[in-house]
Amino acid sequence: MQQLQRVRIIQHHVQKIGDRLTDMVMPNMGAFIAWGLMAACFSPTGFFPHAGLGGVVTAIGRYLLPLMLAYTGARVTGGQRGGLVAAIATIGLIASMHDLALLGAMILGPLCGWLTKKLDRCLHQHVRQGFELLVDNFSAGILGMLMALIGYLGLAPIVDWVSRMLALGANWLIDAHLIPLANVVIEPAKVLFMNNVINHGILNPIGTEQAAHAGHSLLFLLETNPGPGLGILLAFAIFGHGRAKKAAPGAIIIHALGGIHEIYFPYILQRPQLLLAVIAGGVSGTATFDLLNIGLRADPAPGSIISILLLTPASLHNYLGVIAGVTVSTVVAFAIAVLLLPRRNAESVDTTNAIATSTNDQAVIITGTEGMGSPDMGARILRAKLQEHGITNVTVTAQPINTIAEANDAIIFVMDDLVAVVQEQAPEAKDIIGIRNYLNTPAYDDFLRTL
């Protein structure tokens, strides 16, 4: 029991790291995609090579992306002034670094936000009325200058060294054709909702660095390849039973075209033996990409087949290679999943909690990690059910798990493995209901019956 509790504590801390990384990266994914698309069009190997516009591509990667990441990461804890301090500090970091400063910016941003918050708490209790604006401006300027010096003299050399070591390790794995083994770790971690930690915290910075030099990177396809999940969903759609079979066709569209990979995670959490299928699919797909020397220009977000093809370098070989890798991973995952699926007609039963009825207005929150599309779609499904039954006194919203601290007297639906996190985030919630699938769970119908 104690060991299980330790595992959940570790998972909670990893989840918080993933949320913080996602809070930095997801709001700025448009900038990453713009950078990748402009590189695809105007870089020396693009559709329309242009020296001047190629310089814009370089400026976006060197200046805009690190500044946006640092500002966003600092704003979460330090507000606008924290973001300002982080932007000043990141300029010092960029000026001293030889490579792209993405990794350093992801460290410097939250640090500057935290320091700004602490500094404000220390100063405000000693500032006389009328001097607040003056003190705020000078404290932000002085802290920004000091952090820029720290970034230039201290953090930049360390990040440069770490970046080179990580890039050398990734290049060594690619040169030795061992990079497919990374999926042995990536696929199980994805299913535990650590996909944001892996993609945004590790693969994205290293892949962006590689793409800046080589024009593309295989690392952008390790976590975002929709093939393994697509194979699982196809197996359920054809050979599954009950609710899982009925929901699978819609989930295929959402996963493959919408790029929301979280939609297939509950299928595997219900039957952990299917981890073998997604691992085999991921390894075989990455091996195909590696064999054909395939990579993307930027991180596709969301990881749909559409965004992946848009960020594929412009050549027939690359397009065919991407399609081949996704197809191989889909077929392998599908074949193994079919062997592992039970042949008897057995449906998993979701664990639900009793919900007290109320004639007053009731707030319902469907929550999950930032960047997840499934809670939002779950909220739409529940709203439609409420409308169908003529229930108007219930408000349903989808919120990221790190923003529900004020969820007093709300009923919260969340994945089973995140219930402990929600209990800590929202202790005043009326009820917290663990579910296994945002899109197709009896918990919604049970809730309707109580109303």
- Which tens digit of pLDDT belongs to each residue from 52-99? 888 888 888 889 988 998 999 898 888 888 999 999 999 999 998 877
**β-bridge partners, 307:** none
Domain ranges of the chain: 2-188, 190-340, 362-450
The per-residue pLDDT of the chain, averaged, comes to 80
pLDDT value at 49 more than 60: yes
pLDDT value at 46 more than 70: no
Q: What is the pLDDT of residue 12?
A: 62
pLDDT value at 45 more than 90: no
3.40.47.10, 3.40.50.2300, 3.40.1180.10, 3.30.460.10: which CATH number matches 362-450? 3.40.50.2300
pLDDT value at 145 more than 80: yes
Q: Quick: pLDDT tens for 373-403.
A: 578 778 888 888 888 777 888 888 888 777 7
* Inter-helix orientation angle 227-239/275-291, to 10°: 140
In whole angstroms, give the CA distance from residue 152 to residue 160: 11
pTM (2 d.p.) = 0.55
Helix H or strand E segment including 280: helix 275-291
In whole angstroms, give the CA distance from residue 342 to residue 235: 11
Q: What are phi and psi of 394, to 5 degrees?
A: -120, 125
Q: What are phi and psi of 375, to 5 degrees?
A: -60, -40
Q: Provide the 3-class DSSP secondary structure of residue 310.
A: helix
Q: Which residue has the higher pLDDT, 431 or 40?
A: 431
**CA atoms within 13 Å, Cβ hemisphere of 303:** 28
The residue ranges of DSSP E strands in 289-444, in sequence order, are: 362-368, 394-400, 411-415, 431-435
Q: Is 6 exposed, middle or buried (0-12, 13-18, 19+ CB in 10 A)?
A: exposed
Q: What is the pLDDT of residue 351?
A: 36
**128 secondary structure, DSSP code:** P
Q: Quick: pLDDT tens for 234-250.
A: 999 998 877 678 878 88
